[in-house]
Structure 1
Amino acid sequence: MTLSGSDTHTPVPLRHNRDFGIFWAVQALSTLGSSFSLVAIPLLVLHATGSVAQMGLITGIAGAGTVASGLFAGVLVDRVDRRLLMIWCDLARLLLYAAVPVVWWTAGEHVWLLYPVIGVAAVFQMVFDVACSAAVPNIVAREQITAANSRLQATYGAGFVLGPMAAGLVAALAGPVTAVAVDAVTFGVSVVGLLLIRLRPATGGPAMDPIAGRPTAVWRDLAVGVRFLWRTPVLRAITLLYTPVTFLSLGLVDVFIYYVRHDLGQGDRVVGGLLGAASVGSIVAAVITPAVRRRVGFGPAWLAAYLACGVAIAAAGLVYHLVVVLVAAVVFAFGETMAGISSASLRQTVTPDHLLGRVTAGFWMVHHAFGPVGALVLTSAVAHAGVHGPLIAVGVSFLAIVAAGLLTPLRAAASR
């Protein structure tokens, strides 16, 4: 008998793995919906306040929710049923995002509502993302992890091609609030899909953990994940390097939207088209990353990805033209996706299954810790000095991060 995810049997090809197919499809649809909010929420804030700093504040609040949830997300993922946890997270986000159009359509514009909605939704997003990442090895075989991540990322990229363009069109025709409503509906579809699949149980877990059940077990569990990151040289290196990357990049989507709307004088439809076209870079990266990793290894692929990001961002700051901004966004999306697939696959491969939630949450919590501050700093700098200087500074900083990475184990092609 062949099992879809057993490491001791011949694995079922991904195209015949029913559970992975459903999981892949519903997450792609959910990503399509999320791309609506990616465009719609900043546009709601910009339309209501005209302030890029307020856009950065929303992004900062979301980042703070991500960091706060990292304190318990990994412990939850390693202690409870991962599928049920994802279902509850989707239900919570459905209700949160549905609240925005309900209030807007019945009581008028209330920008203040966006702050708690986005902050709380970010908590459930973080828990869901950790569970989703940890669930991949429970659906596919070990040797299929990179291929599965690449397929997921390619489909996510396709969603972000179609989603922002569709969101821009919906926002232009029916308003950004309608685009948020679409996002809420897709969470409901994701719930239905998750109800139809099953995951292999995680090996190990609380039953094998001698500290389980003690009052301090949650904190000790979290510390276990962070210690594993620190004691694994390659994981330690990418965790430390991702911290400044997130600080610099968390507010970039807001800056690109502001750049196109304010400096270049383009409408909502162009904003959606720009973000959608940029996602072509994500699709290309998702398709080629498995081959690149096999050829050069994880470290060189990760460093090359962020080298491309740095050059692209600096170019967007140096040259004042919509085409240059478009190309920069495409290259940035390409680099972010290649680096993300590579780091996720490495983490899923080297981490024991019963630790995967805690290690993933610890990784994201550490490198997201300064992201909200970075978003506020970047958008405030843009508000006071314009987009050009800050973008050049971010691009140069990315190049400095790559140079620092060459002094770590990431430089070795053996880091696969």
Structure 2
Amino acid sequence: MESLQEKNRGYGSIFRNLNFFSIWIGQTISVVGDFLYIIALMWWVLEKTGSTAAMATVAICSSLPAIILGPFAGTYVDRVDKRRLLILMDLGRGVLIAVPGVLYFLNQLQVWHIFVIAAFLSSMSTFFNPALASFLPVIVNKEQLVRANSISQMSSNLSGIIGPALGGALVALFGAGTVMILDALSFFVSVIAIFLVRVKVEQVFPSEERKRFLQELMDGLNFIRKESGILGLVVLFSVLNFFVAPVGVLIPLMVKKILKMGAEGFGVLGSSISVGMVLGSLFLGMIGGVRRKGTFIMIGIVVAGSFLALFGVSESFWTSIFLLGGCGFGFSFANILVPVVFQSKIPHEKQGRVFGTLGTISGGLRPISLALVGVMGGLLHIQMIVFLSGVLVALGGLTGFLIPGIKKL
């Protein structure tokens, strides 16, 4: 008879898990829609305003709710039916995404509408993301977590190959409004997929009586403080997010002003990042159980930062495609292995609140960075900012090798 260990080898056993398969299909379609929306949104704001400050403001509006609500959302997630919460958040996001699409076709869409909608979308995602992260270990056993996360990340990146390139083409052909409506529809597909999941998640609390909400809120922070490896990762990624945050705002400007390309070129560059991430996902998937996860994460960060710095000085479109692909390859290590570390070390009954707190701490400096680039974008050369961001990210990865807690992960 085939042993459990043998059954867990490869990807086949995961896809035979119908609950995981349903979530995977729904999220893959939804992520394609998200990439379509990002391309449409950023290019529309760039064409409408031509302003670094306006694009940075969109990013700030998307960041602040996650930072402010993160710990509260995570604690709330631990108290409720995660499946129901996932459905409600996707329904809400689908409706919200449709609003700018409709306003676009009515010729009423304004930049301030985008700011407000970005804030509400981020608020809903702040509840959705920790719920999904803490839901995965319920439908997938511990031995399959690395491959499950690898599949999820690889699918997200495959969606990232299709989405940006398709989004750029659709924006050029039909306008941003059509792309926004398509993203709204993708959320409704995700709702159906989550609805098909039949796992009942029992709420588990560390004592017979529920702790007060504030006490549960503090549990997330206290857990992180006691786990030196997780604390080291969170602090390091908070700094890295500060360095890398400006890049997402500046890439559209580089495409238009330095590389002399349109929305299609912006989409292709976005896809190249995902190509690199897919290759990284395949690499980690073939390795399977990575023992020194902290070391692999830091190697990936150094690789990503190095390629990002080179992209900052590139003036060739085709060279830029290759360099951003290398950047994606490096970042894929962190995107896959960091969730595995958290899911395996954090007790299930605390995962929601801990994930929420992690998001707040790791992204806490992001709005400051975006505000600075909004001001400095008109003072410093775009390429110089991107180059320095890459150098600092690579140095941050090298610093991670010196943190004992990370080395032991």
C-alpha separation in 1, matches of 2:327 and 2:309? 11
Q: Residue 143 of structure 1 aligns with which residue?
A: 143
C-alpha separation in 1, matches of 2:177 and 2:205? 42
Q: Is the 8 A contact 1:63 1:122 kept in 2?
A: yes
The equivalences for 1:178-197 within 5 A come to: 178-197=178-197
Q: Is the 8 A contact 1:77 1:127 kept in 2?
A: yes
Q: Residue 246 of structure 2 aligns with which residue?
A: 251
**Displaced runs of 4+ in structure 1, greater than 4 A?**
290-293
Structure 1 residue 319, shift from structure 2 partner? 3.0
SS of the aligned residue for 2:106 comes to helix
Structure 1 residue 317, shift from structure 2 partner? 1.9
Indicate yes or no: 2:240 matched with 1:265. Answer: no
The equivalences for 1:144-163 within 5 A come to: 144-163=144-163
SS of the aligned residue for 1:13 comes to helix
- Using a 3 Å threshold, how does the CA distance of structure 1 residues 292 and 371 change in structure 2: closer, same or farther? farther
Describe the superposition over 1:293-344 as per-residue Cα deviations: whole angstroms up to 9, x where unpaired: 7456111101101101111111112332223322232122222221021110
C-alpha separation in 2, matches of 1:380 and 1:332? 26
- Using a 3 Å threshold, how does the CA distance of structure 1 residues 252 and 380 change in structure 2: closer, same or farther? same
C-alpha separation in 2, matches of 1:109 and 1:395? 35
Aligned mate of 2:389, from 376, 379, 394: 394
Aligned mate of 1:343, from 306, 316, 338: 338
Structure 1 residue 291, shift from structure 2 partner? 4.8
Structure 1 residue 377, shift from structure 2 partner? 1.9
SS of the aligned residue for 1:271 comes to helix
Aligned mate of 2:298, from 295, 303, 310: 303
Q: Is the 8 A contact 1:59 1:251 kept in 2?
A: no
Q: Residue 98 of structure 1 aligns with which residue?
A: 98
Q: Residue 165 of structure 2 aligns with which residue?
A: 165
C-alpha separation in 1, matches of 2:200 and 2:130? 17
- Using a 3 Å threshold, how does the CA distance of structure 1 residues 200 and 351 change in structure 2: closer, same or farther? farther
Q: Is the 8 A contact 1:68 1:123 kept in 2?
A: no
- RMSD in angstroms over aligned alpha carbons? 2.1
Structure 1 residue 411, shift from structure 2 partner? 5.7
SS of the aligned residue for 1:108 comes to coil
Q: Residue 354 of structure 1 aligns with which residue?
A: 349
C-alpha separation in 1, matches of 2:124 and 2:323? 31
Normalising by the residue count of structure 1, what TM-score does the alignment of the two structures yield? 0.92
Q: Is the 8 A contact 2:52 2:378 kept in 1?
A: yes
SS of the aligned residue for 2:379 comes to helix
| Residue type of the alignment partner of 2:386 | L
| Residue type of the alignment partner of 2:264 | R
- Using a 3 Å threshold, how does the CA distance of structure 1 residues 352 and 411 change in structure 2: closer, same or farther? closer
SS of the aligned residue for 2:32 comes to helix
In the alignment of these two chains, the number of paired residues is 403
Q: Residue 126 of structure 2 aligns with which residue?
A: 126
Q: Which deviates more, 242-251 or 340-349?
A: 242-251
Q: Residue 237 of structure 1 aligns with which residue?
A: 232
Structure 1 residue 223, shift from structure 2 partner? 1.2
Q: Residue 70 of structure 1 aligns with which residue?
A: 70
Describe the superposition over 1:212-252 as per-residue Cα deviations: whole angstroms up to 9, x where unpaired: 3xxxx222212101111111111011001010111122232
C-alpha separation in 2, matches of 1:246 and 1:139? 30
Q: Is the 8 A contact 1:292 1:301 kept in 2?
A: no
Normalising by the residue count of structure 2, what TM-score does the alignment of the two structures yield? 0.93
| Residue type of the alignment partner of 2:199 | L
Describe the superposition over 1:382-404 as per-residue Cα deviations: whole angstroms up to 9, x where unpaired: 33212121112112211221232
Aligned mate of 2:403, from 403, 408, 416: 408
Q: Which deviates more, 163-172 or 218-227?
A: 218-227
Which consecutive unaligned segments of at least 5 residues does structure 1 have?
Answer: none
C-alpha separation in 2, matches of 1:335 and 1:293? 17
SS of the aligned residue for 2:197 comes to coil
Q: Which deviates more, 220-229 or 166-175?
A: 220-229
C-alpha separation in 2, matches of 1:403 and 1:304? 8
Q: Which deviates more, 378-387 or 154-163?
A: 378-387
Q: Residue 80 of structure 2 aligns with which residue?
A: 80
Structure 1 residue 126, shift from structure 2 partner? 1.8
C-alpha separation in 1, matches of 2:50 and 2:161? 26
C-alpha separation in 1, matches of 2:319 and 2:369? 24
Q: Is the 8 A contact 2:31 2:159 kept in 1?
A: yes
Which consecutive unaligned segments of at least 5 residues does structure 2 have?
Answer: none
Alignment identity in percent?
A: 23
Indicate yes or no: 2:237 matched with 1:219. Answer: no
